[in-house]
A and B are shown apart, each in its own frame.
Chain A
Amino acid sequence: MFFDVLLIGIMVGAIYTLVTIGYSMVYSILKLMNFAHGDVYIFGTFICYTLLSKYSMNPLVAILIAALLGGLLASLVEVVAYRRLRSEQHRMISMITALGAAYVIQNSNELQWGNQVLAFPSILTAKTFQLFGFTIPITQIIILVIAVSLIAVFTLFLKYHPYGKAILCVSEDIPTASLMGIPINKTITMVYFIGGMLGVVGGILYSTSYNAVSLAMGFRGTIIAFTAAVIGGIGSLGGALVGGMLLGICENFIGVYVSSSYRDPITFLLLILILLVKPTGIMGSVDQSKV
């Protein structure tokens, strides 16, 4: 029992990490709470749902199309709602346009797919195998492998690819990066695109492992991503991993051993406590404000 819960927790944690990475990157560059993140990923998940259940497409192609569309939507939101406000306004203003953008996407999703829980087709096999006397479902292993390899690819991309390095530069200091000849607007749009894509893949993996997709998961995703990012420390990939894993595992243990209806309140309480004890997150560094 304990082992099963831990395993599911790790799987959920890996998915949360995927959803968190894009969010955390955007936050570290723009210091903007991207409220639309969850609604973008649920849009991609819904697209995937439609492609799979209506057109019975190949799952791999469907995931690819959904991720691309999700990435495009995320960049569109950036161009329309955030770009104009980036430099001259108080940060709070762009946070509120983000909320507005989230509403527009959420409502559009609702018009298209309704607010009921839809049965997401399971794209992975339901087989299990035995290891050291434990029964392990293959689905969870596959999801874990996909999530971890995407995280690894993105880390390598940031470290070695010129575009990835550009992202790191911009997140360090926008004016200086711009002086070095890095196209700021393109880089930021790219961050949104990648963040949206990773989020959509995370959303699809989550939906296929629970066989469900619903509108409410979008907003919950935004909160989860922000919570995980904050717990781990904003802007660092390692932080996203630690935060996502911790959140996934804690959530499952609370859900199983304490009470499922108090799962979310306790998770939020945990967040408040972590913020109080260590406001910069577990892996975060102190950010001193300057005059």
Chain B
Amino acid sequence: MKFNSLLENPIYVKAGYILAILLALFLPKIVSDMYYLGIVNYMILYAILCMGLNLILGYTGLLSLGHAAFYGLGGYTTAILITRYGFSFLSCLIISGIVALLFGILLGIPTRKVRGDYFCLLTIAFGEIFRLVAQAWIEFTNGAMGIVGIPIPKIFGWSIRTESDFYYLGLTLLGFTYITLALLVNSKFGRAFIAIREDELAASVMGINTALYKIIVFAIGCFYAGLAGSYLAVYQTTITPSNFRLEESCLMIIMVIVGGMGSLLAPIAGVIVMTIATEYFRGISEYRMLIIGVIMVAVLLFRPQGIFGTSAFKS
């Protein structure tokens, strides 16, 4: 296929990376319209989420439909710590990531026993428990009304107010996500969990502790969701349980699938395509889920490896 050979040519790939980095650094100078910059900020948010999810989905083959819950755990942790206890944003960011990580370990432990599909159900159940408890525990989470009035975050005296400030904050987080993930995937550790994805039984025969690796990878993926949730809390200044519905988890999965699983940057392509599609079709928003569903089925039927994915899953 022509498109694939273009992807394999190192010169085009390098030029593409450099162009993308330059564009990313100067985007707020080029895009003056705050509305469009706002859309870009949501893209960054989803890019962080999807890169974390891709680690779970594309690198270990666990289908998690509860990613929104970890995103929400991060969001609520930040919102509650900032508004009630006056924590600084940076500490909230770290704590949010760690809270999501801990819950990731907790939910990851059953993977030792539970097969793939049941695990998927487990994540759905966890996601729903999180959302329903956030709705019902009014004293702590303020119920369906959510937590409002989250103050402007400050990092080392830099107060983040405008869309372009948030853009750079998001970009930093995205850069952090990419670099840490790239280091992880290319390490010995990373090769072990790629082996698990390719053939779990063979990997375990080679002496890889598959159960432990799955838990760790799952928890790390959740950690990034916690970061993204923290970013969402300060960016939106409000947080409600409806931010973290199952549809959000599904949307993330679609983004990863459309972009391509198993490659670090490919999900970003999915994020861009899906965000533009949903924005473009905003005028006919009642058809939104219909269009998303059709894209989902069509992509998987005709290009199961996604736009930039290198290889599809083997049966």
Contacts and interface: CB of A to CB of B under 8 A. Distances in A.
Contacts of A85: 300-301, 304
A91 interface: yes
Contact of B290 (A92, A108, A262, A268): A108
A110 B286 contact: yes
Contacts of B135: 261
A259 B132 CA distance: 13
Interface in B36-80: 57, 61, 63
B289 A103 contact: yes
Nearest to B289: A107
Contacts of A262: 132-133, 136
A93 B290 contact: no
Interface in A57-107: 80-81, 84-85, 87-93, 95-97, 99-104, 106-107
Given A97-B301, A100-B294, A272-B110, A89 B61 contact: no
Interface string A265-291: 100110110011001000000010101
> Interface SS of chain A: helix, strand, loop or mixed?
helix
Contacts of B128: 223, 264-265, 268
9 contacts: A92-B57, A96-B296, A96-B300, A100-B300, A107-B290, A223-B128, A226-B121, A275-B121, A279-B118
A2 B295 CA distance: 49
Interface string B150-189: 0000000000000000000000000000000000000000
Interface string A243-273: 0000000000000000101101100110110
Categorize the interface residue count of chain A: 35 or more
Given A104-B294, A265-B136, A90 B315 contact: yes
Contact of B296 (A100, A110, A219): A100
Interface of B: 57, 61, 63, 110, 113-118, 120-122, 124-126, 128-129, 132-133, 135-136, 201, 246, 250, 253-254, 257, 286-290, 292-297, 300-301, 304, 312-315
Given A90-B315, A264-B128, A289-B201, A271 B121 contact: yes
A269 B292 CA distance: 30
Q: Which 7 A-B pairs have the closest CB atoms?
A: A90-B313, A103-B293, A100-B296, A107-B290, A104-B293, A268-B125, A107-B289
A265 B128 CA distance: 7
A179 interface: no
A84 B116 CA distance: 22
A103 B61 CA distance: 23
A93 B304 contact: yes
A219 B250 CA distance: 13
B204 to A, nearest CB: 11
Interface in A149-164: none
Contacts of A90: 61, 312-315
A230 interface: yes
A16 to B, nearest CB: 16
Given A92-B63, A265-B129, A99 B253 contact: yes
Contacts of A214: none
A208 interface: no
B121 A89 contact: no
A119 B230 CA distance: 41
B118 A93 contact: no
Contacts of B253: 96, 99
Contacts of B300: 85, 93, 96-97, 100
B246 A271 contact: no
Nearest to A270: B125
B250 A103 contact: yes
Contacts of B287: 107, 111
Q: Which of B117, B250, B314 has the most CB of A within 10 A?
A: B117
Given A85-B301, A100-B297, A100-B300, A95 B117 contact: yes
